[in-house]
Amino acid sequence: MSHIKIKLHENQLQFIKDTCKEFNYNAGDLINILHKLQDKFGYLPSEVQEAVANELKIPTAKVYGIVTFYSYFTMVPKGEYPINICLGTACYVRGAEKILDEFKKQLNIKVGESTPDGKFSLNCLRCVGACGLAPVVMIGEKTYGRVAPDDVKKILSEYQHD
């Protein structure tokens, strides 16, 4: 996993402290605390995890263990346009993996990563409830149905204008 090193601003640190306080510094609420922080920051960089560990008085390694266990948590900031490829059963049997490979090739990143310019991030999910449109790709809130590998380049070009 690639990591990004940042320095927290005073108000960000304060938000972390307030959140931990809100949960009475209860280590049993670690997952809820991390949810709230990821909602706020978009991801959970190492400095955030360390600050949480300090507040809750638990080892940073434990926090990192939780963050890396649950796929919802991420240590990489999402791109401006987050790409989600559905790998649910219906999409999968209709060739979602080939679509995923094409996105990886076009963007030159792996699943869970973002492009160096911060424009796109690539992730997978299981079933968006649009199986009739399989295989499905979501970019931000926009849904693309019946995607073929050849369409990928064109889809990405829609976001290249700026």
Partner 1 sequence: MKTVNITINNIPLEVPKSTTILQAAKMINIEIPTLCHMKLEDFCIENKPAGCRICMVDVKGRRNLVPSCVTECTEGMVIETSNPRIINARRTVLELILSDHPFECLICPKNGKCDLQSLAQELGVREIRYTGEQSTYRMDTSQAIIRNPEKCIMCRRCELMCNTVQTCGVLSAVNRGFMSVVAPAFEQNLDHSPCTFCGQCVAVCPTAALTEVDQTGKLIQALADPDKVVVVQTAPAVRVTLGEEFGLKPGTIVTGKMVTALKRLGFNYVFDTDFAADLTIMEEGTELLNRLTKYLNGDKSVKLPILTSCCPAWVNFFEKNFPDLLDIPSSAKSPQQMFGAVAKNYFAKQLNIPREKLVVVSVMPCVAKKYEAQREEFRVNNDPDVNISITTRELATLIKQTVQDFNSLPESDFDRPLGESTGAAAIFGTTGGVIEAAVRTAYELYTKKPLPKIEFEELRGMEWIRKATVDFDGLKLNIGIAHGLGNARKLLEEIQAGKSEFHAIEIMACPGGCIGGGGQPQHHGKSEIIKARQKAIYEEDRRLPLRKSHENPYIIKLYEEYLGHPMSELSHELLHTKYFQKQPEIIIEND
Cα–Cα distance, 120 to 110 (Å, whole number)? 11
Q: Which is nearer to partner 1, 59 or 118 (CB)?
A: 59
Cα–Cα distance, 150 to 57 (Å, whole number)? 52
Cα–Cα distance, 134 to 99 (Å, whole number)? 11
Q: Which is nearer to partner 1, 46 or 84 (CB)?
A: 46
Closest CA to 15 of 40, 35, 32: 40
Q: Which is nearer to partner 1, 69 or 161 (CB)?
A: 69
- To which H or E segment does residue 82 belong? strand 81-86
Q: Which of 17, 35, 62, 119 binds partner 1 (CB under 8 A)?
A: 62
Q: Segment contacting partner 1 (CB under 8 A): 16-24, 59-67, 110-118, 152-160?
A: 59-67
Q: Which is nearer to partner 1, 5 or 161 (CB)?
A: 5
Contact status, residue 134 vs residue 99, Cβ threshold 8 Å: no
Considering the complex, what minimum distance in angstroms separates the CB of residue 58 from partner 1? 7
Q: Does 126 bind partner 1 (CB under 8 A)?
A: no
Binding-site ranges for partner 1 (CB under 8 A)? 1-3, 5, 46-47, 49-50, 53, 58-65, 68-71
